[in-house]
Amino acid sequence: MRVSRGARYLAGAAVLMTAVAACGGGGGASGGGGKAAADAINVLGCEPENPLIPADANEVCGGKVLDSLFTGLVEYDPDRNGEPVNAVASAIESKDSKVWTIKLNQGWKFHDGTEVKAKNFVDAWNWSAHSKNGMQNGSWFADIEGFSDVFTEDPDGDGPQKAPEPKSSTMKGLKVIDDYTFEVTLSHPVSVFPVKLGYTTFSPLPDSFFKDPEAFKKKPIGNGPFKFVDRKNQQYIHEEKFAEYKGARAAKVNKLNWKIYQNEDSAYADLVSGKLDFMESIPPSALSGDKWKTDLGERAISGQQMVFQSVTFPMYNKKIWGNAEWRKAISMAIDRDTITDKIFNKGRLPIKGWVAPGVTGAKDGACGEFCTYNPEKAKQLLAEAKQKGFTPPAELKLFYNADRGGHKEWTEAVANSVTQTFGGEVKMVATPYPTFDEFRAAINDHKMEGIYRTGWQADYPHIENFLNPLYKTGASSNDGLYSNKKLDAKLKDADKEVDPAKSQALYQEAEAMLAEDMNAIPLWYYGLQAGHSPNVKNVKVTPFGELDVTSVELNKS
């Protein structure tokens, strides 16, 4: 997944202290004036954390810039709730979900004028997966047969030894048939494979990239609706319309400026005064008391995002893990309605399942009554948990990171809710790690001495993305080491199922199984609070909660 949106800013109390995304208001249209360039739109951006290479973008900031520079085999149609539709691909077919034949449309061009051919995909994927290139998203290609030939790991994890040289520089599962056709063989059936192909990492790369990756880092060349012009560290990234764009969704504005701000409040001030044309993250100070709705009027946009928030119990720590009744008792002691109402001003909405609504296959209510606030039932469950021989810890810690994301307020509210429900019998304390990396390092090393906040932003809009990476035994983001054989089997069945509807039903069954163990307590999903200036019209928001840069238009003045 991409680093969730909150991570861009030090939100919450520390909103103005902005860490990761920084700086330089205004830069965009030289002088920051909205009218400086009549054919440009200024959109809130943030500083990419990695070089602008598709396979290296694992966070929102780089991701949204790359999404406008590249078009993949499929794209997620904002008019159809993010359903994947073919873009560069003309057909993606498979009989067994294992061997996929991909045909390309002809005539697509990169920004340097060369044509997009099958080998641009195959070469890009081979390069991105190769462990010597160390791309952030290299493991996205792990499903392809022959991945282990190009990807090797350090045998002692993080020690002095080095990973052995990969056997090959190509994966044997990738075969170019002709200029416009290639075949992908997976090591096991993956029914959602075509859905994944819209993710930035699967973008094609031009031949020039392989000759000189360093030059590419400075001036990326894509095949998307916009082409890269220039960027200034912490200030702006400028793009312009790509005239020879072949896709259905060509840009309607001539220039696209990502303006990078030090903090959301200053961006918001510019939005209100029309110096910024779009931002998708209205700051808490403006959300408080619904001020933003009066400030923006009709220009306020409410929606929802595919971001799910939960707290996770580490299964490896038996003192905390306890039994199912214990975890359900905690869940039922959390007053989700009041918290989302008072802390988030309804900017987040309580959820009764593990999948954010709006994604393909999402079905509400998998968690049932266990995700409803019910103090009486919670106390009863706690009593049952004790009867079964579990002694709750004297103090249950709820860990979060203090530096970014604004997690302090809600973790404290959750802790208060739990503590007060049980009348002090279980005392929950929200405990911060000073920094996100310290927090994640402790989680990844499986050293949590309490429960901790977790969140998930969809990489692609499909129910599978909320289940496989998080709850399957040994999955990449299953950091609580949850393991349930029955669930694993069910997920495997769903992966194999060729028929999309049946496959989705199987995933839903798997989701419902999570309620038995309650290893992760669902809390809420993110709403979207965005706004635009009076200068633009036809403003649409993608299912990822970002501006659809291709459909937005400028008002003729």
- The residues in 363-402 that bind another protein, with binding defined as CB under 8 A, are 397, 399, 402
Report the residue count for the chain.
557
Of 439, 482, 507, 525, which one interacts with another protein (CB under 8 A)?
Answer: 439
Q: Which stretch binds another protein (CB under 8 A): 43-51, 315-323, 501-509, 530-538?
A: 43-51
Shortest CB 154 distance to another protein, Å: 6
Q: CA-based Rg of the chain, rounded to a whole angstrom?
A: 24
Of 89, 92, 343, 487, which one interacts with another protein (CB under 8 A)?
Answer: 343
**CA 415 to the chain's CA centroid:** 26
Give me the half-sphere count of Cα atoms (radius 13 Å) on the Cβ side of residue 131. 17
Alpha-carbon span 323 to 346, nearest angstrom? 32
**CA 448 to the chain's CA centroid:** 24
Beta carbon nearer to another protein, 92 or 351:
351
| Of 185, 202, 171, the residue nearest 95 (C-alpha) | 185
Beta carbon nearer to another protein, 197 or 343:
343
Alpha-carbon span 83 to 204, nearest angstrom? 21
| Of 395, 392, 414, 408, the residue nearest 522 (C-alpha) | 414
User: Which amino acid type is present at position 497?
Assistant: E
Beta carbon nearer to another protein, 107 or 155:
155
| Of 13, 15, 17, 19, the residue nearest 409 (C-alpha) | 13
Of 319, 342, 388, 486, which one interacts with another protein (CB under 8 A)?
Answer: 342
| Of 482, 439, 78, 43, the residue nearest 276 (C-alpha) | 43
Q: What is the DSSP letter of 159?
A: S
Two tokens, residue 510 = 């798997």
Q: Binding of another protein at residue 417 (CB under 8 A)?
A: yes
| Of 486, 44, 468, the residue nearest 272 (C-alpha) | 44
Shortest CB 110 distance to another protein, Å: 21
Beta pairing class for 300-312 and 451-457: antiparallel
Q: Binding of another protein at residue 15 (CB under 8 A)?
A: yes
Alpha-carbon span 552 to 540, nearest angstrom? 7
Beta carbon nearer to another protein, 21 or 89:
21
Site for another protein in 159-218 (CB under 8 A): 159-160, 162-163, 217
Is residue 549 a contact partner of residue 75, using CB atoms and an 8 Å limit?
A: no
Q: Binding of another protein at residue 6 (CB under 8 A)?
A: no
Beta carbon nearer to another protein, 280 or 403:
403
**CA 112 to the chain's CA centroid:** 30
Phi then psi for residue 369, to 5 deg, are -70, -20
Q: Residue count at the site for another protein (CB under 8 A)?
A: 108
Instruction: Label residues 478-492 b or e (16+ Cβ within 10 Å = b).
Output: bbbebbbeebbebbb
Beta carbon nearer to another protein, 224 or 455:
455
Q: Which stretch binds another protein (CB under 8 A): 20-28, 178-186, 243-251, 318-326?
A: 20-28
Shortest CB 248 distance to another protein, Å: 31
Two tokens, residue 412 = 């404290």
Beta carbon nearer to another protein, 160 or 389:
160
Shortest CB 225 distance to another protein, Å: 25
Shortest CB 5 distance to another protein, Å: 10
| Of 301, 267, 261, 207, the residue nearest 545 (C-alpha) | 301
Of 235, 484, 535, 550, which one interacts with another protein (CB under 8 A)?
Answer: 235
Q: Binding of another protein at residue 550 (CB under 8 A)?
A: no
Q: Binding of another protein at residue 233 (CB under 8 A)?
A: yes
Two tokens, residue 465 = 């993305």
User: Which amino acid type is present at position 517?
Assistant: D
Beta carbon nearer to another protein, 4 or 281:
4
Shortest CB 545 distance to another protein, Å: 15
Of 457, 533, 535, 550, which one interacts with another protein (CB under 8 A)?
Answer: 457
Site string for another protein, 282-311 (x = CB under 8 A): --xx--xx-x--------------------
Beta carbon nearer to another protein, 100 or 209:
209
Beta carbon nearer to another protein, 269 or 315:
269
Of 139, 148, 187, 374, which one interacts with another protein (CB under 8 A)?
Answer: 139
For every residue of 15-26, DSSP letters joined together read GGG--SS---SS
Q: Which stretch binds another protein (CB under 8 A): 219-227, 244-252, 447-455, 517-525?
A: 447-455
Site for another protein in 476-515 (CB under 8 A): 476-477, 479
